[in-house]
Amino acid sequence: MTTTSRATTTPNLDSAIVQKLQESLRGDVVQPGHSEYDSARTIYNAMIDKRPAVIVRCAGVSDVIHAVNFARENDLILSIKGGGHNVSGSSLCDGGIVIDLSQMKSVRVDPKRQTARVEGGATWRDMDHATHAFGLATPAGIIGTTGVAGLTLGGGFGHLSRHYGLSCDNLLSADVVTADGRLVTASKDENPDLFWALRGGGGNFGVVTSFEFQLHPVDTVYGGPIFYPIEETEKLLRFYRDYMRQAPDEMSAFFSFHQGPPAPFIPEHLHFVPMVAIVTCYSGALEDGEEAIRPLRAAATPAVDLAGPIPYPALNGMFDDLFSPGLYHYWKADFVPELKDEAIAVHTEYGPQIPSLHSTMHLYPQTGAIQRVGKDESAYSYRDMEYVHNVVAVDMEEANMPRNMTWMREYWDALHPHSAAGTYVNFMMEDEGQDRVKATYRDNYDRLTQIKKTWDPDNLFKSNQNIRPKA
Ligand SMILES: Cc1cc2nc3c(=O)[nH]c(=O)nc-3n(C[C@H](O)[C@H](O)[C@H](O)COP(=O)(O)OP(=O)(O)OC[C@H]3O[C@@H](n4cnc5c(N)ncnc54)[C@H](O)[C@@H]3O)c2cc1C
């Protein structure tokens, strides 16, 4: 099995130099031997076991500047940890320096302008909590513990994206510490090339210390999962495809396979039983939600129907306990131009075979407001897709991963011929290769390499799905 455990050697960093770094910081430095070293190098995906030489737990922008300068001057590999959720493990590095932003989590909401300023280590749970007090939100991912930073920089979609676009479409500006240790602001008026690249180009261009987002009136929504018997898979997928093609933008629903979680709201006879789950969110007028979801309820008889009025942050945190940190993950995803009958046949074959409580397949809609931004208006190129499918092998026990990964690989191999060449950058694993990165950015790749050359000519920021500086 592939794990990301690598060499454990660390470069000979002169302790006096590290001491000097520590003295320049308000945050702290954690190195091997420190009592918190192991917890500081533990991230969401338990498959990742990397041993950085230095972890800088930054307390603010000036710490980030010192850490970037330190990495460059000492020729160290550098990685950036926002929420630490990326399953590829790119937020950590072996033998280098980690810029850990997990202590920079503040969110400041401006209710008048309906904007929020969020620090680079905040999670969507932090963000949702702060904005919900004002009946506001911006498109996020579907798990509250995911970092705002990594998700937004790679694009970012979730329950609100058909209505309000990708997370990166709602970015108004970003403060960025660049490879040469400067702090710059990127927006449509200031450093517009950098702003273009940040919206989908990942962590390639600098350390984003804060993001400014546009918010929208989102308070209590009508949504939640509806579970159906697995035997209804094919019928439901065909229905779901047609339903989503005519659904208003306010309606989001992703299709998935899950074993019934052993939770009090699931009848005991359905625990660990494979089911279809369609996870709904209607973010228009609350009184219209029931009617919008009615066709899904009528498409087949639900086994468990949990959809109803729910505060948006509660919907966004509903799966946090199921997908808690410390599970073993390996994912494979693709963009899907249109959901073809052939792909429905593949889902119908493999979906019912989900091998664990946590392994799953999610089919996320990419339509509505996402498609109203042009392919070249930001780095995020795949604006003409109907879905992203993501087949994930997840288990509590490492020993069970081979079984989960066999299912995942066979499933993905069968789906891939019905998909686009590129994939969603935030669902990529470390070993997918440079051609896959290029395929993901399509016609935007060349412009990204030029912008990379301007802002990071020596590729200091390369622990990511890397965009290489133009030669
Ligand atoms: C359980 C789970 C659910 C998910 N659900 C969704 C979903 O619904 N929608 C969706 O779009 N994605 C989803 N994702 C994927 C998610 O978008 C990525 O994992 C994303 O990278 C997480 O951001 P992070 O800040 O936690 O990442 P980290 O692991 O901290 O960082 C990943 C990379 O992002 C870059 N980065 C992070 N912070 C910064 C920063 N401040 N400045 C510059 N670069 C930075 C770096 O290159 C870093 O290597 C999910 C992931 C998980 C594990």
How many C-beta neighbours within 10 Å does residue 119 have? Answer: 24
Task: Calculate how far, in angstroms, residue 213's C-alpha sits from the geometric centre of ligand 1.
Answer: 17
> Ligand 1, atom 11: nearest CA belongs to which residue?
156
Atom of ligand 1 at shortest range from CA of 329? 53
Expressed in angstroms and rounded, the spacing between residue 152 Cα and the centre of ligand 1 is: 8
Q: What is the pLDDT of residues 127-167, one digit of tens each?
A: 999 999 999 999 999 999 999 999 999 999 999 999 999 99
CA–centroid distance, 464 to ligand 1, in Å, is: 10
pLDDT in tens, 23-33: 999 999 999 99
As a whole number of angstroms, the distance between CA 140 and CA 281 comes to: 13
pLDDT at 6 exceeding the cut of 50: no
pLDDT band with cut points at 50, 70 and 90 for residue 10: low
Q: Which residue's CA is the closest to the ligand 1 atom numbered 23?
A: 150
Q: What domains, with CATH codes, occur in the chain?
A: 4-100 (3.30.43.10), 107-217+441-455 (3.30.465.10), 220-429 (3.40.462.20)
pLDDT at 5 (0 to 100): 40
For residue 44, count other CB atoms closer than 10 A to its CB.
23
pLDDT digits (tens, 9 = 90+) for 189-199: 999 999 999 99
Instruction: Tell me what pLDDT residue 345 has.
Output: 98
Instruction: Among 151, 328, 456, 459, name the best residue to mutate to test ligand 1's pocket (greatest count of ligand atoms within 8 A of Cβ).
Output: 151
Whether residue 252 has its Cβ less than 6 Å from ligand 1: no
User: Does pLDDT of 380 surpass 60?
Assistant: yes
Contact 144, 128 (CB under 8 A): yes
Cβ 233 vs Cβ 344: under 8 Å: no
Counting ligand 1 atoms within 8 A of each CB, the residue from 211, 362, 426, 466 with the most, and so the one to mutate, is 426
- In the prediction, which pLDDT does 21 show? 96
pLDDT of residue 440: 96
At residue 14 the predicted structure's pLDDT band, cuts being 50, 70 and 90, is confident
Structure tokens at 409: 């690989």
What is the reported pTM?
0.96
User: What is the pLDDT, as a whole number, of residue 2?
Assistant: 39
Could you give the percent of the chain with pLDDT greater than 90? 96
Instruction: Decide: helix, strand or coil at residue 214.
Output: strand
Measure Cα distances from 142 to 42, 123, 228, 364, 465 in Å. 22, 12, 20, 11, 22
Does the pLDDT of residue 3 top 50, yes or no? no
Residue 157: CB within 6 Å of ligand 1?
Answer: yes
Q: Is the CB of 455 under 6 A from ligand 1?
A: no
Closest CA to 75 of 27, 17, 28: 17
Q: What's the pLDDT band for 13 if we cut at 50, 70, 90?
A: confident
State the chain's mean pLDDT as an integer: 96
Q: How far is the CA of 149 from the centre of ligand 1 (A)?
A: 6
Q: What's the pLDDT score for residue 431?
A: 85
H-helix or E-strand spanning residue 161:
helix 161-164
Q: Which residue among 146, 199, 331, 361 has the greatest number of ligand 1 atoms within 8 angstroms of its CB, and so is best to mutate?
A: 146
Phi, psi of 239, rounded to the nearest 5 degrees: -65, -45
pLDDT in the model for residue 78: 98
How many Cα atoms within 13 Å fall on the side-chain side of residue 191?
19
Gap between the Cα atoms of 444 and 442, Å rounded: 5
- pLDDT band, residue 7 (cuts 50/70/90): very low
The ligand 1 atom at the shortest distance from the C-alpha of residue 204 is 47
Ligand 1 atom closest to 156 (CA): 11
Ligand 1 center–CA 275 separation, angstroms: 28
- 3-class DSSP state of 426: helix
| Strand, coil or helix: 362 | strand
Ligand 1 site, residue 200, Cβ cutoff 6 A: no
Q: Which residues of 389-406 are buried (b: 16+ CB within 10 A; e: fewer)?
A: bbbbbbbeeeebbeebbe
